[in-house]
Amino acid sequence: MDITSIINPLNDAQREAVSAPSRAMLVLAGAGSGKTRVLVHRIAWQIQVEGHSPHSILAVTFTNKAATEMRTRIEDLLNISARSMWIGTFHGLAHRLLRRHAKDAQLPETFQVMDSDDQLRLIKRLYKNLNLDEAKWPPKQAQWYINGQKDEGIRAKHMPETGDFFQRQMLAIYKAYEEVCQRSGLVDFAELLLRAHELLRDNPETLSFYQQRFRHVHVDEFQDTNTIQYAWLRLLTQDRDNLFVVGDDDQSIYGWRGAKIENIYRFQKHFPNHKVVKLERNYRSTGHILKAANRVIEHNEGRMGKELWTESGDGEPISVYAAFNEQDEAYYVVERIRKWVHEGGSRSDIAILYRSNAQSRQFEEKLIATSIPYRVYGGLRFFDRAEIKNALAYLRLMANPDDDASFERVINTPTRGIGAKSLDDIRVLARDKNLSLRQAVEFAIAQKLTTPRAGNAMSGFIALVRSLAEQTQGLPLFEQVKIVVEKSGLIEFYKKEKGDKGEARVENLEELVNAARLYEYDQDNEENLSELDMFLTHAALEAGEMQSNAEQDCVQLMTLHAAKGLEFKRVFMVGFEEGLFPSQQSVEDPGRLEEERRLCYVGMTRAMENLCLTYAESRRLWGRETYPKASRFLREIPAETLQEVRMRAQVSRPVSFTGNMDSHEPGTYKLGQRVRHEKFGEGVVLQREGSGAQERIQINFQAVGIKWLMLSYAKLEGVGA
């Protein structure tokens, strides 16, 4: 039998994993070590060498893309069709199981699967029956709660009544939700897994059939499994050593959405005769990158331990750039990208990775200004995000109360209990009377055409917008925006949205305040627009600039979480500061801090040839100026793998000085220097860029905040220290 096609492409550790006798096995696969190859070749070995039927093999992945890739590679390797094989995601395979055994699973044969949006709409309909106020009990909070309980294998009937008011209310929603789903034959994503587990647990004959059929069970990304997924795997492999799992405890970064790194340790307990194979040879990154990543992750306790290595040499040292502030950071990164592309590099080989979505704005603005195409991977551009559009809608209504699009967007955000029918009635009235929506509401209230509840809610909204306009009149732009995001209720509304998404929305709103603070207002604009109007126009134009699609040659922007599984020749990891990365919430929680460190490890190992780490010595976070320390993760990297870089000519470092200073000619101001402007008063120089007639200077004025000025027109004078 010719097995060269299966064995020859593998290194020694991979061969050991692929050709081992059938038994429980944990393949500890480091980043870039060829884990998918091992899974595919293991299955091929079992079919071609050991003679097992393709129908006796079950392979579970986390994405449809990974399942398709695995199926295609098996077909290419063995020249057989893999269409009938059970290779798929947990949800896909659970759905397949339930379709075959709907009656035993106590489901109608025509049961329907709900996506996340369908599930949320159902919960909102339930709220009306339960007379719940969405403002006090956000539907997404209930959705998060229900899915979280299901991921732990917990039904509403299993939960005891408690004295906790929140728990009692969530339990009531959960019970009502289960009842309507069972009555209507509806199944959500979390239910697919829970119901499939219950099907096998409660039907011994069905369980026995699949235990006999699936002689070999394979699992990819095992470190990302949650409680119910592992319980399902345990049932299928009960009392058998036929579970082959590939994972990496150092790449477990999804604890916030239910993944249990503990499952790797449970596997070793539940399968005492298991074998461990470590894949440590890396085929992606250079030696300096791997050495740095190894040293960082070593600071986590309780690891199974491995040391990534490569035969490709050390490569370039890791660049470290200490920016003066976040604008300088973005300027440096984009300049490096521009230079790389000018020298013939491909934009799609470059990624900018950040911890928080809110960080993308600075880089987006600089990329747009430099005409470099980019794509926000797995997310929206800053000004396209729902929470930003909602805040801008309030600002537009302050400028123009008869802006119907903005009125309709936020009249019920945050939720005010205004029903769909009430809004439909207002739309019809506005059309028939040729009124704006605001005017139609006022007319309907005056003529008593609305219910008291709807009328009060709508008049309260109009009063809120009017009050915001009055409170912000004459204030600097950033203070107007700050008041709006706080007094509109948007901040509190999104804080109630549990999980990472709610935190990201709040951070984005706070970044909008920073964007307003840094906005350059041209007082001499031809249209004679106010600063607020100009800012709203700027936001609309930036949102209208469509980002590149996946097929275009463009720079990739993404969060560190979204980067898992990807690789790029050049990677910029930005915001390496205490309080940002690691995040402030994780600093005092050892478990969360270790997950942040694993996230750092994942980010670093995305880089193939060149890695650049940046941090800012000052950064505006949550509406205030901060002066963070460099991240502890940066301090954990060996000095011999790092190379500090500094910008030439464009930005000067902060300087200290004494004595009085005379007026300066353009081009001679230093960062940190105090200056005086005829109109804006005294301020401190933050940044400079450009040269000659195009040279600009950024100053933080005591009276009006941060402004960019053309140095040749600014008429500045130095102020004594």
Model confidence pLDDT, tens digit, residues 590-629? 889 999 999 999 999 999 999 999 999 888 876 677 888 9
- Catalytic site residue from 36, 167, 169, 439: 36
What letter represents residue 325's amino acid? N
Query: Are 566 and 351 contacting, i.e. CB atoms less than 8 angstroms apart?
Result: yes
251 in catalytic set: yes
450 carries a ligand binding annotation:
no
Q: Label residue 661 by pLDDT band (50, 70, 90).
A: very low
> Domains, the chain, ranges and CATH?
1-100+191-280 (3.40.50.300), 115-183 (1.10.10.160), 316-380+545-643 (3.40.50.300), 382-523 (1.10.486.10), 671-716 (2.40.10)
Share the mean pLDDT of the chain: 87
36 in catalytic set: yes
630 carries a ligand binding annotation:
no
Whole-angstrom distance, CA of residue 35 vs CA of residue 168: 45
**160-173 residue pLDDT tens:** 887 788 899 999 99
34 carries a ligand binding annotation:
yes
33 carries a ligand binding annotation:
yes
Tokens of 485: 């995001």
DSSP secondary structure letter of residue 21: P
- Based on its alpha-carbon atoms, the radius of gyration of the chain, rounded to whole angstroms, reads 29
Conformation bin of residue 210: beta by default, left when phi > 0, alpha when psi is -120 to 50 = alpha
606 in catalytic set: yes
User: Which helix (H) or strand (E) covers residue 571, if one does?
Assistant: strand 568-573
Q: How many CB atoms lie within 10 A of CB 286?
A: 23
Q: How many CB atoms lie within 10 A of CB 233?
A: 23
30 carries a ligand binding annotation:
yes
What letter represents residue 471's amino acid? Q
| Strands of 403-447, DSSP E | none
Tokens of 361: 């704005």
pLDDT score of 533 more than 90: no
- Catalytic site residue from 15, 35, 409, 597: 35
Number of H helices, E strands in the chain: 27, 22
Q: What's the pLDDT at 665?
A: 44
Burial class (CB in 10 A: 0-12, 13-18, 19+), 117: exposed
208 carries a ligand binding annotation:
no
Query: Are 493 and 138 contacting, i.e. CB atoms less than 8 angstroms apart?
Result: yes
Pick the range with the lowest mean pLDDT from 226-240, 376-390, 437-451, 605-619: 376-390
- Catalytic site residue from 251, 359, 547, 673: 251
Q: What's the pLDDT at 421?
A: 85
- Residues with Cβ within 8 Å of 536's Cβ and at least 6 positions away in sequence, in order, are 392, 395, 396, 399
Burial class (CB in 10 A: 0-12, 13-18, 19+), 623: middle
Q: Label residue 666 by pLDDT band (50, 70, 90).
A: very low
Whole-angstrom distance, CA of residue 502 vs CA of residue 57: 40
Q: Label residue 681 by pLDDT band (50, 70, 90).
A: confident
Q: Label residue 523 by pLDDT band (50, 70, 90).
A: confident
Secondary structure class of 294 (helix, strand, coil): helix
128 in catalytic set: no
Residue appearing with tokens 């997924």? 229
pTM assigned to the model? 0.75
Q: What's the pLDDT at 296?
A: 97
Whole-angstrom distance, CA of residue 386 vs CA of residue 497: 14
DSSP secondary structure letter of residue 278: E
Q: What percent of the chain has pLDDT over 70?
A: 92
Helix, strand, coil abundance in the chain, percent, nearest 5: 50, 15, 35
Output the CA torsion sign for 598, 603, 608, 609. negative
- Catalytic site residue from 134, 191, 221, 328: 221
